[in-house]
Amino acid sequence: MSVFTPVSEAQLAVWLANYSVGDLTALEPIAAGIENTNYFVTTTQGRYVLTLFERLPASELPFYLNLMAHLARHGIPSPAPIADLSDGYLAQLNGRPAALVTRLDGRSVERPGPAECAELGALLARMHLAGRSYAGYLENPRGSKWWRVAARAVRPFLDAERQALLDEELRFQALYRFPDLPRGPIHADLFRDNALFEDGRISGVIDFYFAGVDCWLLDCAVCANDWCLIDAETDRRLEQAKTLALLRGYHAVRSLTALERGAWPVLLRAAALRFWLSRLYDYHLPRAGVLVHAHDPEHLRDILALRAGGAPAPWID
């Protein structure tokens, strides 16, 4: 969440006249993240998040917004898009497609333990099961096709060691396809800062704008690589207690299969590759913005190297 397109209070007040949300009382830019322009919006009727979509194709936006609305209707603590007076979720603001969604309460947890990981696993499984009845379809936009496009773009910026790691992982991942794994809509970006907690329970799951249809287990792998580290700063191996808590929490809601057990080490590597590539791209090929936040790609490079190193990946019995 960065600010690439400035919005003034006067501009937003005019735009909000097409919504039944009251009068604007506060507008605050959100500096975290890297993809879209985001603001906290407070009105006389409630608290919201305004998103201006900077890069996402307009044809994909209904998938994300309708998925959020679908999940919210099914009891998942997802932001609910607000329809305008024409009953649409999308409208133009300062030359960008824009949407208003409910702002959820809670705070992200910087250092989750097994209890938070178990809560996350159960929430993921509930979200996947709720998504089965969602009619929209969008193939994971950051899947294997995108990996190769991004790899070509960032490769000139890498030294020989990093080029070798990238080339080998692309070769390895090309050996595997998992058409028989359970699939459906996944969040695909549920890092710690995209989950909100209150009193030990997840009160919100935010930022669905990388969602797509893929293996459900890939969502678990993305989460494990961020939530289940021994120490995010000093030791990026998977901690067994936290990883097992994540998987057991998930398994208690939706039973994991023998096929998924076999795919787990590969998908942990795939998740690390996907985010290493995206961070390399945003670091070396940044866009101009008023507030821009780019993550260090070396964090994910270390995680990929560790997952590719052959250490056993924790799995439930």
User: Is 2 domain-assigned?
Assistant: no
Task: Say if residue 138 is in the same domain as residue 244.
Answer: yes
Number of domains in the chain: 2
Task: Determine the structural domain holding residue 284 and report its residue range.
Answer: 114-307
Report the pLDDT value the prediction gives residue 31, as an integer from 0 to 100: 79
User: Is 4 domain-assigned?
Assistant: no
Task: Say if residue 146 is in the same domain as residue 289.
Answer: yes
Q: What's the average model confidence in pLDDT over 212-221?
A: 98
Report the pLDDT value the prediction gives residue 96, as an integer from 0 to 100: 96
Task: Say if residue 218 is in the same domain as residue 293.
Answer: yes
Using the predicted structure, report yes or no on whether residue 164 has a pLDDT greater than 50. Answer: yes
Task: Say if residue 129 is in the same domain as residue 63.
Answer: no
- Tens of pLDDT, residue by residue over 30-64, are 976 568 999 999 999 999 999 999 989 999 999 99
131 pLDDT band, cuts 50/70/90, is very high
Using the predicted structure, report yes or no on whether residue 292 has a pLDDT greater than 90. Answer: no
Give the 3-state DSSP-derived string for the chain, with helices as H, strands as E and coil as C. CEECCCCCHHHHHHHHCCCCCCCEEEEEECCCCCCCEEEEEEECCCEEEEEECCCCCCCCHHHHHHHHHHHHHCCCCCCCECCCCCCCCCEEECCEEEEEEECCCCECCCCCCHHHHHHHHHHHHHHHHHHCCCCCCCECCCCHHHHHHHHHHHHHHCCHHHHHHHHHHHHHHCCCCCCCCCEEEECCCCCHHHEEEECCEEEEECCCCCCEEEEHHHHHHHHHHHHCEEECCCEEEECHHHHHHHHHHHHCCCCCCHHHHHHHHHHHHHHHHHHHHHHHHHHHCCCCCCECCCCCHHHHHHHHHHHCCCCCCCCCC
